[in-house]
Amino acid sequence: MQPFFEGKESEHNWSKREKSIIKLRKLTKGNAPNEFNSTYIAGIKALLDGILKTVNSLRTTVSSNGCHLIQEIAKTIGPGLDSMVEILLRDLIKLCAGTKKISAQNGNITVDIIMANVSYNVRLMQHVWNACQDKNVQPRTSASTWLKTVLNKHGHHKSHFEHTSGVEYTEKCIKRGLADANPGVREGMRSTFWVFAKIWPEKAEAIMSTLDEKHKDLLEKDSGNPHSPKKSSKSAGLSSGRSATLPRNKPGAPPKPSVREAIAAQKRAAMAAGTLPERPASAQSTASLSPARPSTSMSTIRPSVSMASIRPSASRSATTIVP
């Protein structure tokens, strides 16, 4: 595979590169990572530059296959990818800032999966902090998701997280995200704030106290807030709606029949008594007003034969046929 990844991508080697990436995906899903772990990781490390070339390819299918390969490797070997994380995150975060929507989405998902499966390192937080300061909106929007993944995955190791400046980077990311000019970035960071508040509530209170009333109100109304007023009002509305739709019959009384059942019962009773109502006058009037088709008789269609022609006659020549 190594020769296919040398040089730039061209019309002659892009298909061979894609086939090589698909073959690596098959090996990753097979027994190679488990039975030949060291050999497999060494091979991936040797082909890492070529894999990143396919990730940055201008052909969407080639780039997607490269991203899917890295996702599967991260899920399969997990911490075995630690030595390659730095190079992978550098290129994948750049991919998130690209103009191609599919490639940017693939890059975002791949970074998220890597952060969820590799070991914690302060470099992960530094990459998230750099993404929060990016001039493009896409990395800033994705940074809230990555930060939430890191907190959910590694936040329970509080002492290690605190001693490696993880909390400081998290506070800086949240403050910057909540004050971002883009509303999508602010909305994504609000849900991340409440994940942070579950682990470090005192520090979350300190961040909230620095916000103005408008931003504080929006933060409290976020769906990630376990005590959000929206959730309580919604649950109250659902309970009141259910009580309003319940039938108000007295206990023990039979349920009231519907209108359709009442009409059907009246029709059955009328048929049994033989006293069906007459046809409405409107239907009769419309029937009488409809134009009648002209009657056609045999006399108008075929020529008539005179009665004299069917009388018995002595001579056959005396018969006259009227045309």
Per residue in 100-145, pLDDT tens? 999 999 999 999 999 999 999 899 999 999 999 999 999 999 999 9
- What is the band of 230 on the pLDDT scale with cuts at 50, 70, 90? low
pTM above threshold 0.95: no
Q: In a 10 Å sphere around its CB, with 0-12 CB exposed, 13-18 middle and 19+ buried, how is residue 322 labelled?
A: exposed
- Residues 213-221: what's their mean pLDDT? 89
For tokens 């050999």, what's the residue?
39
Residue 111: HSE in the Cβ half-sphere, 13 Å Cα cutoff: 31
pLDDT for 309 beyond 60: no
How confident is the model at residue 176, as a pLDDT? 93
The answer to whether 178 touches 170, Cβ cutoff 8 Å, is no
DSSP assignment of 63-127, as one string? HHHHHHHHHHHHHHHGGGGGGGHHHHHHHHHHHHTSS-HHHHHHHHHHHHHHHHHSPP-HHHHHH
pLDDT in tens, 243-285: 444 445 545 555 666 777 878 888 888 787 765 555 555 544 4
How confident is the model at residue 263, as a pLDDT? 82
Percent of the chain with pLDDT over 90: 55
For tokens 């002209």, what's the residue?
294
Q: What angle do CA 252, 257, 260 make, to 5 degrees?
A: 170
- What is the band of 3 on the pLDDT scale with cuts at 50, 70, 90? confident
How confident is the model at residue 202, as a pLDDT? 92
For tokens 């509530």, what's the residue?
201
pLDDT for 307 beyond 70: no
How confident is the model at residue 188, as a pLDDT? 92
Chain mean pLDDT for the chain? 80
